[in-house]
Structure 1
Amino acid sequence: MSSSFNPAFTTSDILACQFSSWYKDFAPVSIRSTIIPLSAEFLAYLDEDGVFVPAGSEGVTEEDHLLDGKDDSDSDEDEGETRRYSFPELDAQIRAVVAQYGGVFPKLNFTSPKDAAWVLPPSSPLKCTSPADVYLLLKSSDFIPHDLHAPSVFEGCIDASSPTAPGYQLELVLRKWYSVDRSREFRCFVRDNALIGICQRDTNFYDYMLERETRDKILSTATKFWTEEVKKRWKGGENYVFDILFTRDLSRAHVVDINPYAPRTDTLFFSYEELEELHVRSQSSPDSTTIPELRTITSHGEVASAPANQHNMVPMEALSLGADQGAWADAIQEAVRNQKADDDG
């Protein structure tokens, strides 16, 4: 599917942007990561209603139901209808990666559960140190279901119904966790193999971005990084969106993610119509040195009135109890960690 502002895209274009497709080539300029294929049973677990962790993921002996709407008054018959899950091999793999990296941030083929940051302690949001942390993030996210089934992954592809369309395998990606300065995260837009736009990813105002020297440095480093590192490694089509994290001095960058140039990808401070105008301008340029447009928040008045992912930051149950984000996260973690003691008692 395409519009006057978007090129048509295929299933191959989408699959080129899944993590396992590009990470091997980009590993030298990306964040250390481990990819684990997921079973059909784990897919069934993610599809199951409710937020709970499987047996064994935090040293527990029974499945923990945290937000699935059940309480002690539920009948034995209702309890018997709930499927029990346990993934000892996956648990062991996650624990090994956590031991290697010191902490991980999980995602699936395309999507990360960043909207579920509330489920872990706010002192280190999204940092997972156990299989249970990983599962809680995945189960609490409204974004993750996008990656679970081919129809949603390939929605809008012009060949989605073709019998020769490639298959799809669900994967878990565990990335080494860092405490990231959000002001150094930027999104870059490439159309017809030309870098046309760059914008900050965070929706907060940073006064240092008003400095001409800083803006020139961002443009220079991003353009050089794309030319020397991204373009030569990328094996997908000529239209894509990639996210980068600058070093503190803005002299170098690392690839964080690569996304399809398609309506499913958030254009942040651009619209696809505006990107099309930049694309036309780049195509009409007499040379190939067109400078991409950089957009950042330029005043406090431009700061978004609500934080990103507000709809999924804290569940209604927490609000009804008068709990803040940290208290609710602590309560969830305590419930998981105390389950084994409850069972043994």
Structure 2
Amino acid sequence: MSLFPKLTQQDILAFQFSSWYHQFSRVSIKSTIIRPLGEDFIRYLSADGVFVPEGSEDIPAQSSLSDDDGDDEDDDSDPPERYAFPELDAKIRIAIKEYGAVFPKLNFSSPKDASWVLPAGSPLKCTSPADVYLLLKSSDFVQHDVNADSVFEGCDDSAALDSPYSLELVLKKWYHIDTSREFRCFVRNNMLIGISQRDCNFYDFLNEQGTQKKMIQAINLFWDSEVRQNWSSKDYTFDLLLTRDLSRAHIIDFNPWAPRTDPLLFTFEELIDIDGNEATLPIFKVIDSRAHPAATQNAPVHQHNMVPLEALALGSGRDLEDFTRELHEEIKRTAVHDQGGK
């Protein structure tokens, strides 16, 4: 038996944010979708280096050129390509004004691996277009969405798409999320068979029998009443956030039943072998001790994508939040200089 069904390109597009959000907006985080994004924005995301487009900050750009830098005007090298997205900036500012702050993602992927570029005290909180661009440019994850070849890798492409793939920017209302209440749910043959903790940290309260029973009941009820009859395919996963009282939930995302989706505390082999006896389902998995092999240790998540070596010089004698804030400002100052800001 194959672990994964053969998916078409149209099947994959059903999981992009704009395809499902309006159906589930009542039980999802408030969001603004901007699409399509132009070829110039795709070139910007694909360009080397981390820099912000001109005019994307909420303060007038200040030149970092000194009087001693005038000799650079005779430099015969080609100037870097300049990027500016005034219309997109305006749309982002409208969303920020409405929500107070936003967290961005593209069609499928969010830039969680780039959280280090914004202040640690407010992870992934964007209050200007420049913040949005910095997160997207610093992320490896979102590059998956930029190229249609990677989006549809492994798909059966014999069926034509109803419409061409186009990049979209999603701006979710930002608020501090208690990641201990985030779960990934696995549905196979239209049965909720597994629930996995998403945040790989050990939490005592998640191992309390009464708490687990309450969470399983809430997730089961939410899936049965809000998701089951409103999702077209029979094999899929979805991510949700339980409310503080553990009685209700909000949809975070949907993902295909495919190798690209992380099974977290399960393996897909385990999930396939789960007995279909509804009385024993869903199987609930959490980090049950600090020694659990999947538990986060001292190394930060996504450490491979964090701080370049040359940036470490900025951090001497500073705590993490001060360092991150100064690094953020240094990136923006460098961007203004490189883009010829005045």
User: What's the TM-score once normalised by structure 1's chain length?
Assistant: 0.87
Structure 2 Cα separation of the partners of residues 204 and 74 of structure 1? 53
Q: Which amino acid aligns with 1:223?
A: N
Which residue is equivalent to 2:41? 42
Which residue is equivalent to 1:297? 287
Structure 1 Cα separation of the partners of residues 74 and 201 of structure 2? 49
| 1:292-336 Cα shifts (integer Å, max 9, x gaps) | 100001111112333321211322222355556534432243232
Q: Does the CA contact (< 8 Å) of 2:188 and 2:236 recur in 1?
A: yes
Which residue is equivalent to 1:210? 207
Is 2:331 the partner of 1:333? no
Is 2:87 the partner of 1:89? yes
Structure 2 Cα separation of the partners of residues 250 and 198 of structure 1? 15
Task: Name the CA shift for 1:120/1:36 in 2 (closer, same or farther; >3 Å).
Answer: same
Q: Which amino acid aligns with 1:273?
A: E
Q: Does the CA contact (< 8 Å) of 2:314 and 2:326 recur in 1?
A: no
Which residue is equivalent to 2:151? 153
Which residue is equivalent to 2:266? 270
Structure 1 Cα separation of the partners of residues 61 and 2 of structure 2? 55
Q: Which amino acid aligns with 1:51?
A: V
Which residue is equivalent to 1:249? 245
Give the 5 Å matches for 1:96-245: 96-159=94-157, 162=158, 164-166=160-162, 167-235=164-232, 237-245=233-241
Q: Which amino acid aligns with 2:243?
A: T
Task: Name the CA shift for 1:78/1:142 in 2 (closer, same or farther; >3 Å).
Answer: farther
Report the Cα offset of residue 46 of structure 1: 0.5
Q: How well do the aligned residues superpose, as a CA RMSD in angstroms? A: 2.4
Q: Does the CA contact (< 8 Å) of 1:119 and 1:136 recur in 2?
A: yes
Task: Name the CA shift for 1:238/1:205 in 2 (closer, same or farther; >3 Å).
Answer: same
Which residue is equivalent to 1:68? none
Structure 2 Cα separation of the partners of residues 74 and 196 of structure 1? 65
Q: Which amino acid aligns with 2:325?
A: D
Q: Which amino acid aligns with 2:226?
A: E
Aligned residues: 324
Percent identity reads 55
Q: Does the CA contact (< 8 Å) of 1:53 and 1:63 recur in 2?
A: no
Task: Name the CA shift for 1:111/1:63 in 2 (closer, same or farther; >3 Å).
Answer: farther
Report the Cα offset of residue 42 of structure 1: 0.6
Give SS of 1:78's match: coil
Q: Which amino acid aligns with 1:56?
A: G
Structure 1 Cα separation of the partners of residues 213 and 33 of structure 2? 36
Is 2:268 the partner of 1:312? no
Q: Which amino acid aligns with 1:133?
A: D
Structure 2 Cα separation of the partners of residues 310 and 321 of structure 1? 18
| 1:114-148 Cα shifts (integer Å, max 9, x gaps) | 00000000010100000000000000001111000
Structure 1 Cα separation of the partners of residues 267 and 112 of structure 2? 22
Q: Does the CA contact (< 8 Å) of 1:63 and 1:84 recur in 2?
A: no
Q: Which amino acid aligns with 1:122?
A: A
Structure 2 Cα separation of the partners of residues 7 and 62 of structure 1? 54
Report the Cα offset of residue 62 of structure 1: 8.8
Structure 2 Cα separation of the partners of residues 123 and 93 of structure 1? 26
1:259 to 248, 255, 258: 255
Q: Which amino acid aligns with 1:115?
A: D
Report the Cα offset of residue 60 of structure 1: 4.9
Structure 1 Cα separation of the partners of residues 90 and 108 of structure 2? 23
Q: Does the CA contact (< 8 Å) of 2:315 and 2:323 recur in 1?
A: no
Give SS of 2:44's match: helix
Give the 5 Å matches for 1:273-288: 273-278=269-274, 281-282=275-276, 285=277, 288=278
- Structure 2 unaligned spans of 5+: 65-70
Which residue is equivalent to 1:67? none
Q: Which amino acid aligns with 1:5?
A: L
Q: Does the CA contact (< 8 Å) of 1:118 and 1:326 recur in 2?
A: no
Give the 5 Å matches for 1:11-30: 11-30=9-28
- Structure 1 unaligned spans of 5+: 65-71
Structure 2 Cα separation of the partners of residues 62 and 31 of structure 1? 36
Give SS of 1:13's match: helix
Give SS of 1:197's match: strand
Q: Does the CA contact (< 8 Å) of 2:314 and 2:323 recur in 1?
A: no
Q: Does the CA contact (< 8 Å) of 1:119 and 1:328 recur in 2?
A: no
